[in-house]
Structures are given as C-alpha cells and as structure tokens.
Amino acid sequence: MLKFSMELRHLRYFIAAAEEENVSRAALKLRVSQPGISRQIRDLEQEIGFDLFERTAKSLKLTAAGKVFLKEARAVLQRADDAVKNARAVSVGRGELHVGYAPSLTARFLPQALRGFQSAMPNIRVKLHDCSTEEMLGDLRVGKLQLALTVRVEARVVREFNFAELTRETLLLAVAPKHKLAKSRSVNLDEVVREPLISYSRKDYPEAYKMVTGVFAGSKIKPRITEEHDSVSSLIAAVEAGAGVAIVPNSLKCTAGWRLKFIQFSPALQPVIIGAYWLKKPVSGAMEKFLQSAKETSKQAD
C-alpha cells in the first residue's frame, strides 16, 4: 500500500507552477528557490504516480491528468483555508474588537451591523471609538484599533491598509427649517456658493474639509466658509441656529432628524465612498464576521 505523505506546500507549488507555466516565475511568486520548487513538484509526481506537466526547456504545460489535478488541488487548498478561518473564529470565542467609526457617516448601517455581529458572536465585545479619519488610521497602525469605518482617502496615504467599500453617500445641502432655501426641492452650486458655509474643522477633519471645498473646484466663485466645527453635534446646532448651510452626507439625516431640512443638488454631486480599513495582515474570525455583517447591512440600507 502506498504511503501517502503529500503536504499542502506541494499543492501550493504545483498550482503556482501551473498558473505561471514556468518554474522560475513560480519561484519568484512564492519567494522560494527554483531548485526547491522543481524538487517539490518532482516529489509530488513521484508520490501520485503520474506526470502533471509536459516539460520543455522554457515552459511547463499541464497534462490531461494535470488539468484535473489542478482543479482538485485548488479545492483542497480552499477547504484548508476555510478550516483555518472557521477554527480561528472559534478560538476567539471571547475578547474585544476595537472599531473606529465616523458617526455621521455610518449611522444608516452601523447599528444593524452591530446587532448582526453580536447575534453571531455574543462573547465578543465591540468597543466603538469615535474619532477623525486621521486618528483612526494612526490607531490602526499602532494596534489600538482593528477596523476603521470611515470615508475613503487618497490611496498613497493608506498603502499599508486593505479597504472594503461598504456604501456610497449622496451629498445634500443641510439648512435650518426656516432658511429661505428650506422649501426648495433642489439647489445648485451657484445658489449655495452665495451662502455662508459651515464645515468640519480643517485641522481635525481634513478629509471632510477637502470634500466640501472640492465640490466647488470647478466654480469661479469660491465658497465662503464662515465656521468650522470639531463635532457633528456642534455642526448641526450651528446650521439649526441659522449660522449658515452645510454640505453633508445623506446619513446625517439619521442624526439630525427634524432639526434640519435636507435638499438635493441638481445636478447631483459626486457621492462619498464609505468603507472599512484594516492592516494588511491575517484577520481574526471576529474581524471577518464584523466585516461580513457591515457589508450585508450597508447593502440593505442603500
């Protein structure tokens, strides 16, 4: 009886060689030596008793048996990866997940995401941290946060992170209930640019400030930002008091409620992309489950 000692690394090496059709390129892809990958593939063929490749001086071509084996090898590796993920989820049966979030951007889906996650993993405590995008990214880098739910920022700033888009927020104009524009069905930028504009602080929320000023990039008249605020509650209060108008995401309706009137832009402005950032490293079962819950609930909220 044949003693079977195939290991997962044999399958990984075989799949890489099959995909690259070249041992040298497969070795570069896997960051192993060329002789090492050639030896492992020969050992695999000797173990199973048939050739997987037709070899030439410069390339490899799968045999008919090799094509069948490739399909099954991929399935085996996928099952192994799934087993690790499922076991990891069980291994973190207790603990904490630290999530940074922007309240005004996540109000439409975060409560439902939390309920879904807690139902699936009741022994994991989610600790929410309300902070700016810049603070979230800094806390991710040093391990204080595992996830950050916020607006998408420039790619060059976040090269060390993964990003998953969750939703897109329509931009609206927020005004006081008695403002002269409050009964308008829609507004355009020419009307808004004449109004005193209220924004989030350039220092504390640079991405939000750039979003507002970027809206007027093609306008001949520059916006007149008269107030900058360091929290969503103070911004809402200032607009409600009639100090000015604000360009805000649709989700602010959940926070402001009846206190403000929200008006659509015509033509519509470029939407804001909201998503999750996390470090480029293996994720825990808790993180994966939370991301899944956030993706599902954000789709339902759209």
- Give the mean pLDDT of the chain: 87
Does some domain include residue 257?
A: yes
- pLDDT at site 4: 46
More confident residue, 133 or 6: 133
Question: Which residues constitute the domain of residue 119?
Answer: 94-164+276-301
pLDDT higher than threshold 50 for residue 36:
yes
Residue 64, burial from CB neighbour count under 10 angstroms (0-12, 13-18, 19+): exposed
Domain end residue (candidates: 44, 71, 90): 90
Q: What is the CATH number of the domain that holds 48?
A: 1.10.10.10
Mean pLDDT of the region 176-204: 91
Would you place residue 2 in the very low, low, confident or very high pLDDT band (cuts 50, 70, 90)? very low
| Class of residue 120 by CB neighbours under 10 A (exposed 0-12, middle 13-18, buried 19+) | middle
Q: Are residue 201 and residue 223 in the same domain, yes or no? A: yes
Q: What is the reported pLDDT for 63? A: 93
Domain boundary among 90, 106, 123: 90
Confidence category of residue 114, pLDDT binned at 50, 70, 90: very high
| Sign of the alpha-carbon torsion through 115, 116, 122, 128 | negative
Both 79 and 34 in one domain: the answer is yes
Query: How far is 144 from 129, CA to CA, in rounded Å?
Result: 10
* 295 shares a domain with 205: no
pLDDT on residue 174: 96
Residue 148 domain-assigned (yes or no): yes
Together in a domain, 84 and 205? no
My answer on whether 148 and 293 are in the same domain is: yes
**Same domain, yes or no: 154 and 287:** yes
> pLDDT tens digits, residue range 45-97?
888 889 999 988 778 899 999 999 999 998 888 888 777 766 665 555 557 89
Q: Is 264 helix (H, G, I), strand (E, B) or coil?
A: strand
The verdict on 160 and 283 lying in the same domain is: yes
From CA 167, how far away is CA 229, in angstroms rounded? 25
CATH of the domain at 182: 3.40.190.10
Residue 228 scores a pLDDT above 80: yes
| Confidence bin at 99 (pLDDT 50/70/90) | very high
Estimate the share of the chain in helix, then strand, then coil, as percent rounded to the nearest 5: 45, 25, 30
Assigned domain for 1 exists = no
Mean per-residue pLDDT for 31-51?
86
127 and 194 in a single domain? The answer is: no
In-domain check, residue 249: yes
Does residue 114 share a domain with residue 77?
no
Is residue 2, in this structure, part of any structural domain at all? Answer: no
Q: Are residues 192 and 177 in the same domain?
A: yes
Do residues 287 and 216 both lie within one domain? no
Residue type, 196: P
The structural domain count of the chain equals 3
pLDDT digits over 141-182, tens only? 988 999 999 999 887 778 889 999 999 999 999 999 999 999
**Domain membership flag for residue 156:** yes
One domain for residues 31 and 86: yes
State which of 28-37, 168-177, 214-223 shows the largest mean pLDDT.
168-177
What is the reported pLDDT for 10?
86
Helix ranges (H only) for the chain are: 8-20, 23-30, 34-48, 64-91, 103-106, 110-120, 133-141, 189-192, 206-215, 232-240, 252-256, 285-301
Structure confidence at residue 28 as a pLDDT band (50, 70, 90)? confident
Q: How far apart are CA 145 and CA 157, in angstroms?
A: 17
3 within domain boundaries: no
